[in-house]
Amino acid sequence: MEKLDLENKNVDLDKVIKAREKGIVGTSIVGIGGNVVLVAIKAVIGFLAGSVAIIMDALNNLTDALSSIITIIGTKLSNKKPDRKHPYGHGRIEYLTSTIIGAIILFAGGMAIYESIVSIIEYFNTKVLPSYTVISLVIIGVAIFIKLGLGIFYRIQAKKLNSDTLKASGMDALFDAILSTGTLISAIVALYGHFYIEGYVGIIIGLFILKSGFGIIKESLSLIIGIRIDDETTRKVKEDIAQFEEVKGVYDLILNNYGTNKYIGSVHIAVRDDMNAQEMMALEKQIAGHMYFKYNMIMTVGVYADNTSTEISRDNKADLDELTKDKPHILQTHGFYVNEEEKIVFFDLVIDFDDKDPHGTCDSVKNALREKYPDYNYIVNIDYDY
């Protein structure tokens, strides 16, 4: 891999962050404008027709506008610079924003169900159907297409800008389009079939909205707690590090997410055991710089000496590989080092989370090696598949 040019990289990264913020804010402003128009249209139709479903639909659009305002505030706050209290920055505010939007969706779904039940009770008491006109049906149909357009626009921008809040807003908009479609079907049935289904359709749609809200909250809370980085990102990062010619292996990659595309982590690399301190430092700086400017990762790089140059170290390593290859819970061994003067062997075992007794698995490997090399002591670090 070519040596990294560190000049003027900060400017490029700042531009990317600002461009992302501008894109999210612009998308949210479009959403606010569209939803305000829909609120006005549906509120007028709802009151004229005496339709609880349409009035609730208008209220739902009002909460969507609120969601977009929350998205703008959350995006601005998440890009605040790190400070003494928050040295890792404020990026996780975006996940809090998604949680709030999820809660708003839950509220909308709950209100839809509540008002639908009230509407059913009222109909059974009065037997009066909502009073729709053809014009109101056409306007509702137009509103559905507007909402679908907003939902698709949100989803496209969410993917482009890698924004969980826009993704949540897009999901909300698409569900609103479904809710409005249910309202339209109910209105057509009432106008031409003189049959009441509005409340029942509202309950069914409300349940789907609740499911969507719970899903968004679950995903955003998982991100706040901390989840495994996706396999594709892990693969790309390891491949990039492995391309440095001095690197003989990449291990122990740990990435902590502090907002969208903002990571702090560590990694171990294997290098020749005859590298001096200056060479290792130069390599560490190159890797750390590459990770920061390509992935926005603050990376700490640790070093393993590739120590299999003597007969005893090669024999130990070969026996270790043989012992662990058929053990289902051992995913990898690395960090192998033999101190022949002290007769100590160091290595790491990567054990999966399904192993109920990782220390027992580790002891079985150490005991087997001690039987063959009784003069050596084995110090093993248990790693997990982070």
Q: What is the pLDDT of residues 226-277, one digit of tens each?
A: 777 778 888 899 999 999 989 888 888 888 887 766 788 888 888 887 888 8
* Range ranked top by mean pLDDT from 86-90, 168-172, 325-329: 325-329
Q: What does the pLDDT look like over 87-125, one tens digit per residue?
A: 777 878 888 888 888 888 888 888 878 888 888 898 888
180: pLDDT strictly greater than 70: yes
pLDDT of residue 11: 46
Q: Report whether 335 contacts 268 (CB < 8 A).
A: yes
Q: What does the pLDDT look like over 20-33, one tens digit per residue?
A: 778 888 888 888 88
Mean pLDDT of 310-331: 86
Q: In what order do the strands lie in the sheet with 377-384?
A: 330-339, 344-351, 377-384
6: pLDDT strictly greater than 80: no
Q: Which CATH number fits domain 9-225: 3.40.50.1000, 1.20.1510.10, 3.30.360.10, 1.10.150.120?
A: 1.20.1510.10
Q: Report whether 90 contacts 79 (CB < 8 A).
A: yes
Question: Would you say the C-alpha torsion 312, 316, 319, 321 has a positive or negative sign?
Answer: negative
What does the DSSP assignment read for 322-382? HHHTT-TTEEEEEEEEEETTTTEEEEEEEE-TT-S-HHHHHHHHHHHHHHH-TT-EEEEEE
Q: How confident is the model at residue 53 (pLDDT cuts 50, 70, 90)?
A: low
Question: Would you say the C-alpha torsion 149, 150, 155, 157 has a positive or negative sign?
Answer: positive
Q: Report whether 158 contacts 167 (CB < 8 A).
A: yes
pLDDT of residue 241: 92
* Helices 52-78 and 198-225, packing angle to 10 deg: 10
Instruction: Using alpha carbons, list the distances in angstroms from residue 163 to 158, 159, 233, 318.
Output: 5, 7, 16, 47
Q: How confident is the model at residue 52 (pLDDT cuts 50, 70, 90)?
A: low
CA distance 190 to 132: 8
In CATH, the architecture of 231-384 is 2-Layer Sandwich (3.30)
Q: Where are the domains of the chain?
A: 9-225, 231-384
Q: What does the pLDDT look like over 122-139, one tens digit per residue?
A: 888 888 777 777 877 887
